Every structure is written in C-alpha cells, then in structure tokens.
Homo-oligomer: A and B are copies of this chain.
Amino acid sequence: MNGTSDTNAAQCPLPHRPEGETITLAHGEGGRLTRQLIRRTILPRMRNPWLEPLGDAAILAACPERIVVTTDAFVVSPLFFPGGDIGRLSVYGTVNDLAVAGARPQWLSLSLILEEGLAIATLERVLDSVAAAAERTGVTIVTGDTKVVPRGAADGLFITTTGVGVLAEPAWAGPLAIEPGDVIVVSGPIGRHGMAVLAARHGLELEPPPSSDCAPLNEAVEGLRRRGVPVRALRDATRGGVAAVLHEWADASGVSFELDEAAVPVTPEVRGACELLGLDPLHVANEGTMLIAVEPAGVEDCLEALREVSVTRDPAVIGRAMKRTLAPVVVRRVLGREQPLDEPLGAPLPRIC
C-alpha cells in the first residue's frame, strides 16, 4: 500500500470545523439540514456529473458488456486504525470484490448511517478518505443516502457501499475449475488488517504496531489479465482469512489443499500479535491481499505480474491443490507435522470490516 496515503490519527490534516460540531437527528430528516450536510460536507469531496444533481438515483451509461454488482456493509471499530480507516476500507473492499469477480470497477453508491453526536470533523475525515480511495481506483461515487439514528442506536458510523463494474474478458473459470496440481499464490503477507484493527481497538502497545493491508487489488488483477496468466480463481481473503477462502474453494471444486506454513508470508508484527493472542494468521482477515489458484505452468508469470504492482509486490507460493483427502485443507507446520486447518467458526474477531 502507498504509505503516503495513510490516514493515521497522528498524520491526519486538521479537521475543517470546530471539534464541537456534531451530527444531530435533524441532519437525517430529509429537510433543509440534510441538504446542507450533503451540499457542504459530502458533495464538495466527491463532486461529479452523476452525483451533482442530488437526485435519488443516478442515470449512468449503457453497458454492452455484462454488469457485475456487489455490496458490503462496513462496521469496523475503531473507525481509524494504522494503515486505514472505514472510508478507505469501504471503497477498497467493494472495488476488490468486483476485481476478483473479473469486473472492472466503475461506479459506487455510498450509504451512511450516522449516530447522533458524531463529530462532523470525524465524518469529514472519513469522507476525505472515501474520496481519495475512489480517485485512486478510478471509481465514481454516483449516488448515496444519509440516515441519522439517535445516540446509542448505532456506533458512530456505518457505511454500505455497492459497486457496479463491467465484466472484463477473459473471465476467470472460477473455483469449480480448480484441479489437483493447481498452485496457490498469496499476493502478500497475511493477517495485517485483522491484527491492526484488533491492536488499535484494544490499545495493545505493540512496537511496531501491525498496519492494515487495506488497499485496492484492481490494478494487480488487471496485470494478471494483461499478461494472460492462466488463473483458475481469485479471491480477496477478507473475513475468515486464507482459511475461509480455501475451505470455500475446497467445497466448490471437490479438491483438497495443502499449505506449507513456512512459505506463508507473515510480518514480524503480525506474528508477534498472533502469538500474544493465540490466533493463527491463516484465520485472520486481510483487506488488500488475495489468493490466486493458478495452473502450474503459469506460476512464474503470476508472480511477476504481481510484483509489478506496489500493493502486491511480495507474493508467495504457499500451497497446491491435490486429490480430495479427509480434510479439505491441510497445513504442513514449520516443524514438519501435517495438520488439518479448521474452517473459522467465527467470533474471535468481530467488527473487523
């Protein structure tokens, strides 16, 4: 990820308003104050010809290619964490879902649920981050909605983004096509997002603190396509981490996967935090890191294509598909033992995205 675009609390530019000004219920009523909020706070940050009329719907282009739609709610806590914030996350998360589905991201809708009492300066920081992320990825925010709920009925700020893209050719075959022998590549060190959010939420004083991988994957996906890498399937490893993706792929394809733990890239910060908390990095969420199942002949091309893009500059081969065994996913641990890798059942990491 581009370090210069981080929005850590310490690096943030001064807020544009006095700290005291906050969101009130009247900002959500659809009347004059709602329009003021939209015109003064939201529109100036993401002005474009579709959003400008402030209608309830945006009339976009005809699409001779098939359109692709995805949606995600973002409820991360805290709103700002090392390496990212809810605004950037809500754009990259949706852009990445489109990219790994084989689409070129084009348009985004932005739906805000604000808690009464939220500092308008906080909202402004988040919107600045949304706008910067949209610009970086070339998507346009074409329509939106703002609701306000009373104190205690939400936690600060939730964002739902919906992305619309157009299908790019060639399309990936998808997880059903994965065959024994296919190679599993990860686009970078894993577990960074989950550990950054957990450490920030609980005030763990790790030095250096883990930093989120929150970043867009569309450029890297485009690179794989341009180079003609024989990709079977792609997936960003978000909630549930690498383990969740491999379990889904095993279900879909009927193969098993074996991973080589020693080959899985993990930063020292993430490794330290995971050991402290008793977590396996393979279960921890990422927000700018993807798995690629690739035909064996295409592995070198795949790695080279990824290395050309800063977000995915440290990819690694971490495993392969094999004939179905009893366990859908097996890890050869560093000490040589082979262990089944459980599917994440849930619960250790709420509100990670």
Contact = CB atoms under 8 A, between A and B. Distances in A.
A164 B111 contact: no
A350 B158 contact: no
A57 interface: yes
Interface stretch (A97-105, A215-223, A224-232): A97-105
A32 B69 contact: no
B347 A25 contact: yes
A289 interface: no
Contacts of A167: 59
Which interface residue of A33, A143, A353 has the most chain B CB atoms within 10 A?
A143
A326 interface: no
Interface string A116-155: 0000000000000000000000000011111111101111
Given A107-B69, A110-B71, A244 B346 contact: no
A334 interface: no
Contact of A111 (B72, B77, B240): B72
Given A31-B244, A153-B154, A347 B24 contact: yes
Interface string A293-329: 0000000000000000000000000000000000000
A152 B147 CA distance: 18
Interface in A147-186: 147-150, 152-155, 158, 160, 162-165, 167
Contact of A101 (B56, B111, B155): B56
A98 B57 CA distance: 6
A148 B266 CA distance: 28
A62 interface: yes
A108 B314 CA distance: 38
Interface string A40-83: 00000000000000011111111111111111111101000000
B143 A71 contact: yes
Given A162-B71, A343-B32, A66 B58 contact: no
A111 B109 CA distance: 13
Interface string A333-353: 000000000011111111101
A56 B74 CA distance: 14
A157 to B, nearest CB: 11
A51 to B, nearest CB: 11
Which interface residue of A25, A71, A75, A353 has the most chain B CB atoms within 10 A?
A71
A242 to B, nearest CB: 12
15 contacts: A29-B344, A29-B349, A31-B343, A31-B346, A34-B346, A56-B235, A59-B103, A59-B167, A61-B66, A63-B63, A69-B107, A69-B143, A73-B112, A73-B113, A149-B350
